[in-house]
Amino acid sequence: MAGDGAAVVRRRQLTIPSRKAWLVVAFVVVFLTFGVPRWLSGDQEGTSSPTAAGFAKLCRQHGGTPHAPPAGTAASAQQFCTVRYGDTVYRMDAITPTGFDEDTAKFQRQGCQQAQAEPGRRGSFVYHAATGVCEHRP
């Protein structure tokens, strides 16, 4: 009889942690699926996809000219923004449909600095922070 009581206690010890583990797993699944509610994070606006008008406005705010992909091109073709410095037209890689990409602009600036420091390079390189473009001047 003493052995039966020990088995019941041992079974309870095994089931309580396993119940807690299942509860934690269920909580994680629910949290990862639904995340923090919008009202808790303070985000009251609905999510919307970037619009062509919003992209064009951002492009012009940074001194560029927006360009749409040609009609009939693949759905993955994206609009882009260009800017003219002197006789050369540059594509503004830092202007994306989701906004101004600070990382891309930073890499453009680094490339501009490296090109300027390279010995034997002809011309000069000027980085424009507003557009995120490295201009090559002959």
pLDDT digits (tens, 9 = 90+) for 8-60: 555 555 577 777 888 888 877 766 666 655 545 555 554 555 677 888 899 99
- The helix (H) or strand (E) run that includes residue 31 is helix 2-34
pTM above 0.95, yes or no: no
Asked whether the predicted pLDDT for residue 100 surpasses 70, the reply is yes
Three-state DSSP class for 104?
helix
Give the DSSP letter of residue 36. S
The Cα-based distances of 94 to 75, 83, 130 in angstroms read 21, 12, 10
Asked whether the predicted pLDDT for residue 127 surpasses 90, the reply is yes
Structure tokens belonging to residue 44: 């009251």
Q: Tell me which residue has tokens 């600095």.
A: 113
